[in-house]
Structure 1
Amino acid sequence: MQFEKYKYMNKRLAASSLAALSIMLGSVVVSCNSDDDTNDYDIDTGYTPETMYSSTAITAFNLKADTKVLANLDSVFFTIDLEGQKIFNADSMPLGTDVRKLVPVIGTGGSSKIMIKYTDTEGNEKEEEYNSTSPDTISFSSPVKVTVTSLNETYSRTYTITVNVHNQKPDSLCWGDMAYSVLPAIRGAKDAVTVEKNGKVYCYSTDGTAWQRASADDPATPVDSWVRETVNFGFTPRLSTLTATDGDYYVLSDNGTLYSSTDGLAWSSTGKVWSWIYGAYESRVVGVAPDGAGYVHATCPEPQGYVASAVRADFPVGGTTRMLTFSSDWSSAPQGIIAGGHIANGNLTSAVWGYDGQAWNKFANMPQDAALDGMTIFPYYTFKTNTINWTVTKQSTIFAMGGRKADGSLSREVYISRDLGVNWHEADSLMQLPEQMESFAGARALVIPTVMHARSTSGGGWESVTLRRLPAWCMLDGFYGSRAVAPITEWDCPYIYIYGGENEAGNLRDIVLRGVINRFTYKPLQ
């Protein structure tokens, strides 16, 4: 999944809608009189009917500043949808914002009267005329109707104004719609690994005697519906090293021989002996190979003129995260990163290393507690709220979790980086692993977009996970902001799938966990 940059759309200009209205009205207002005849509107007011109608448009809307209600209240961004006659703030205000006594500031192209109809704090329906010089406070606890009448009092338009406020704390990071399923593995599986290639998900597994590959286009496919095939390796693979590149598949045998396959079923030796595979870099696989008393960097297939360089003493030679690759502004080549693992002397490391296709460089350290073997890493998102105009921005974020400590116990910490792996910190408490989620090491994570529907439900063999009771403000009820006009019936939701791994005893975890940040699962506001 590539990292993306997200920008919020500028406020929709009213001019284009007004022009469209003018053209539409102009097409039906045609004079059939003689040259001496003129339109009565032109004689009496100097304005045409289309101009009169355009004066019913609300061209600006905001709330008057009131620091007792919310800092920068007057800067809250409101979308004006002239066509739908709706005005709303797509980015909801913070939990607890009191909207019962707000002063609206309404701008028009010139109107004779503006009437506001609302429900007061006692539930009474009220209607009053808007006074731009000394407007009264209005309760926006429920939608407010505003009717704008044209200069000549012939035309009017009614708008619905909605002030959205989060029912719960908007920026808490928590595991939301979480479910689990059994691995699509061979019966009695003792080892398994899952990879993604060309839009499909493949799960390799063994019961210690036979080997099987199960595949599906959609990872949410019920486990019984995966396509299963027998794999004849002809050797004993170390499944934890199995890697799918843009080209072939690669895996190490139990004696370190590197094998490759074009289809993932028939395998052949490359003639190389490695000790670890970091992951895929485009169509190549990148790893480390033993060299006398030390190690050298290795890649396959080797580019022309490739010369293996010695591994530094502080460079990990095993147990790292899988390589995560992404594009960045400071490099024309994709950037790959790995974290954690153990160095040649057996000590664990929390260092983060970057690879540009030619050389490795250490550019960061995770917190010392992240010196772990078998961490799971994946790209995802977090959200940041701008407290000046109360808009929410989606941020590309790298997550790292799980892994085994030096004493053999498993870590439950979740770490995140919002700057492509340069700086790391422990995630908020509500993004940490829930109590009901077993600790793990060596699991594989895939992030796969799922189309959400307005009436989506879970199912297909997935069982809900009852999480620890979360504070009432945790569950998110809003999206980061849509400016769409057409009704939204579906939207992309990136689900995290965590496959297998091992438990504290070192045995296979025969489950798949599916999680998502709740904010993604809610229908975008319009």
Structure 2
Amino acid sequence: MKLQKVSIYLFSFFILLMGVGCNSDEESESYTVSGNTLVKSFSLSDKSGSDVPYSSCFFTIDAVNGYIFNADSLPYKSDISSLVANITFSSASAVEIAYTKQDEENVTTVDYLTNSTDSLDFSGKPWTDTDKKASVKMTVTAPNGNKQIYYIDVRVHQIVADSLQWKELTKTELPSALASPTVQKTVLYKETLYCFTGDGSSYSLATSQRPSEIALWNKEVITPGFVLNVGSIQSAPDYLYALSDAGELYRSADGKSWESVAIDKPFYSLIGVWTDSEEAPADIRLLGVIKDGDTYKHDCYPRPEGYAPRTIENDFPVSGYSNMIVIYEGGDYGLPQTAFVGGRLADGSLTAAVWGYDGEADGWAKLGVKSLITPREGAMFFPYCTYTYDSSTGVRTEWPTFFVVGGSDGYDCLKDMYTTSNPAQYWDKVKDGSVLALPEAFPATSFASVVVFKENVITKSSLAGWNFLKVSELPRYMKSADGLTDGLVPYIYMFGGEDSGGNLERQMWRGVINRLTFAPIP
């Protein structure tokens, strides 16, 4: 949340009053003529028939550098070609405003003190006598003849305001010590990325705490000591867990050395991990499905006291889940809740459902009753954030937002995207061609891994070994900058995945969404 402020930098402001002399016959007063060229306030008037909040837009007046601008841009596609400006001055004797219309070469000049209600065109060509991208020049003359030039820049978002848009999307080779891996699974474990790959006979582990720097990935061949089901690997606060090809459970503290875990019955599939707290978990559960004869049942490891596996719901999937993530961290309204999307049912059909788990004995529940998600398996599921903006107060509020990307519909891989800020209620589809839609070059894929990893803002020049996809360029004033909340930006890393033929995509993708790297607003 951030409150926008109008800031005025005052410079060389003075009023000199001469003394008053008196005698017995008359009084006289004398004053020096003011040389003050200060602009005291600047705002825009709302436009008839438009819902753009022009009058609520706050402007910074930098008197030192002669620059007036709105730090937080007006909404996307706002018309600034004919606006009335409300300007007050300290003691101006003349104010001349000049601008060039969008499709014209001639300069239009307005005497503002005489014609203050005239419309001005802020959409024209920038003046070339300044490094500011300002299209309007205002010359303020004080009573003593002093002059100061102010450049006025009315900024408009070049993308849908507060929407999401890929700022950059890059790809590189999947980190692996194997020449031709065929399977992969990547998880975040103890603040380190663990990328597991296999080729049917050998296994590789690549780790990194600085994933953007390709040369710093540590890649080595590992020998788990059993037939590792790479796709089953799950990350918990205490261990990494995985299944063998027979459903036996193993765990590892480092991803290299694995030990068998005693369980009553082999797992048919693993779903994910639930904990009662992110900070200091006392209850850690590995959730999965077992097959008891012909019956599929919910199970977990370790089992809480009194827990007994129970038959899954008829519409609960037995495989093909997305990764499971935390959608509610817990608090006054209950225990933390995790969730996954999609999967394959026992009868072989696919589901679009979102299932949540809250740690209770019957803790599974179907969510997202108003969902546009179509049936799929192997989708990517990750948390991010979006923003809403109240123009009347200047307050920007951050909201958790959840994304579902891709998967397979049983025939072809997908690269569609769905978002929500309330996964218990609804999911919206990102329309084709929107600013958030994945670029054409991004592959349709299923069973890819996705991890949101915070890093410092990194420039293109320092990302050696990455290939950049073409995305819309941001305006100069919306570029990344130092001064973010914690100096870190959440980058989205996507690993591997399968194409429609079941072949491994040997790529690692790295993306970031614009709003998280906007320059901070003064």
TM-score normalized with structure 2 length: 0.78
- Deviation, 1:277, is 1.6
Distance (whole Å) between structure 1 residues aligned to residue 379 and residue 211 of structure 2: 22
Which of 404, 407, 427 is the equivalent residue of 1:403? 407
- Superposed CA offset, 1:330-356 (max 9, x none): 734322111111223332211111112
Code of the residue aligned with 1:195 in structure 2: it is: V
2:195 — aligned with what?
Answer: 203
Which of 227, 240, 243 is the equivalent residue of 2:231? 240
Q: Is the 8 A contact 1:173 1:428 kept in 2?
A: no
Q: 1:209 to 1:79 in 2, by over 3 A?
A: same
Q: How many residues align?
A: 485
2:121 — aligned with what?
Answer: 139
Code of the residue aligned with 2:286 in structure 1: it is: V
Distance (whole Å) between structure 2 residues aligned to residue 309 and residue 157 of structure 1: 79
2:43 — aligned with what?
Answer: 62
2:342 — aligned with what?
Answer: 340
Identity %: 29
Using the TM superposition, name which of 162-171 and 492-501 deviates more: 162-171
Which of 6, 9, 12 is the equivalent residue of 2:3? 9
2:456 aligned counterpart, secondary structure: strand
Which of 89, 95, 98 is the equivalent residue of 1:115? 95
Q: Is the 8 A contact 1:350 1:365 kept in 2?
A: no
Q: Is the 8 A contact 1:280 1:323 kept in 2?
A: yes
- Superposed CA offset, 1:392-449 (max 9, x none): 876532221222224x332332222232452112212134444333321111112223
- Deviation, 1:235, is 0.9
Q: Is the 8 A contact 2:57 2:391 kept in 1?
A: no
Q: Does 1:437 align with 2:442?
A: yes
Distance (whole Å) between structure 2 residues aligned to residue 225 and residue 163 of structure 1: 44
- Superposed CA offset, 1:271-321 (max 9, x none): 122122211223432222233442333333344554444322222221111
Which of 222, 232, 238 is the equivalent residue of 1:231? 222
Question: Cα RMSD (Å) of the superposition?
Answer: 4.2
Code of the residue aligned with 2:474 in structure 1: it is: D
Q: How does 1:58-97 map to 2 (within 5 A)?
A: 58-67=39-48, 70-82=50-62, 86-94=67-75, 96-97=77-78
Distance (whole Å) between structure 1 residues aligned to residue 477 and residue 454 of structure 2: 17
Distance (whole Å) between structure 1 residues aligned to residue 13 and residue 163 of structure 2: 49
Distance (whole Å) between structure 2 residues aligned to residue 378 and residue 393 of structure 1: 20
Which of 176, 180, 184 is the equivalent residue of 1:188? 180
Q: 1:135 to 1:433 in 2, by over 3 A?
A: closer
- Superposed CA offset, 1:30-63 (max 9, x none): xxxxxxxxx84575999x99xx99x865453221
1:274 — aligned with what?
Answer: 267
- Superposed CA offset, 1:232-268 (max 9, x none): 2111111111011122111111111111112222111
Q: Is the 8 A contact 1:76 1:89 kept in 2?
A: no
Which of 474, 484, 499 is the equivalent residue of 1:503? 499
Distance (whole Å) between structure 1 residues aligned to residue 68 and residue 505 of structure 2: 50
Distance (whole Å) between structure 1 residues aligned to residue 328 and residue 144 of structure 2: 58
- Superposed CA offset, 1:147-179 (max 9, x none): 6677x8698875442101345666776555222
Distance (whole Å) between structure 1 residues aligned to residue 41 and residue 334 of structure 2: 43
Code of the residue aligned with 1:89 in structure 2: it is: N
- Superposed CA offset, 1:168-220 (max 9, x none): 66677655522221111221212221111232211111222222211112222
Which of 373, 386, 402 is the equivalent residue of 2:377? 373
Any gaps of 5 or more consecutive residues in structure 2? Answer: 22-27, 127-133, 276-283
2:417 — aligned with what?
Answer: 414
Q: Is the 8 A contact 1:477 1:519 kept in 2?
A: no
Distance (whole Å) between structure 2 residues aligned to residue 364 and residue 452 of structure 1: 34
Distance (whole Å) between structure 2 residues aligned to residue 394 and residue 160 of structure 1: 33
Using the TM superposition, name which of 257-266 and 444-453 deviates more: 444-453
Q: 1:360 to 1:56 in 2, by over 3 A?
A: farther
TM-score normalized with structure 1 length: 0.78
Distance (whole Å) between structure 1 residues aligned to residue 94 and residue 293 of structure 2: 86
- Superposed CA offset, 1:83-109 (max 9, x none): 76643223333555443432210245x
Q: How does 1:98-497 map to 2 (within 5 A)?
A: 98-108=79-89, 110-113=90-93, 115-121=95-101, 122-123=104-105, 129-131=111-113, 134-140=116-122, 141=124, 142=126, 143=134, 144-146=136-138, 159-167=150-158, 175=166, 177-185=168-176, 186-222=178-214, 224-272=215-263, 273-282=266-275, 283-327=284-328, 331-358=333-360, 359-365=363-369, 367=371, 370-382=374-386, 395-406=399-410, 408-430=411-433, 431-452=436-457, 456-457=460-461, 459-465=463-469, 475=472, 477-478=474-475, 492-497=488-493
Any gaps of 5 or more consecutive residues in structure 1? Answer: 1-6, 30-38, 468-474
Q: Is the 8 A contact 1:476 1:519 kept in 2?
A: no
Q: Is the 8 A contact 1:191 1:206 kept in 2?
A: yes
Distance (whole Å) between structure 2 residues aligned to residue 276 and residue 301 of structure 1: 15
Distance (whole Å) between structure 1 residues aligned to residue 17 and residue 163 of structure 2: 61
- Deviation, 1:227, is 0.9
Which protein is richer in helix relative to its size?
A: 1
Distance (whole Å) between structure 2 residues aligned to residue 477 and residue 318 of structure 1: 41
- Deviation, 1:146, is 4.3
Q: Is the 8 A contact 1:175 1:517 kept in 2?
A: yes
Q: Is the 8 A contact 1:77 1:391 kept in 2?
A: no
Which protein is richer in strand relative to its size?
A: 2
Q: Is the 8 A contact 1:351 1:366 kept in 2?
A: no
Distance (whole Å) between structure 2 residues aligned to residue 236 and residue 438 of structure 1: 29
Code of the residue aligned with 1:460 in structure 2: it is: A
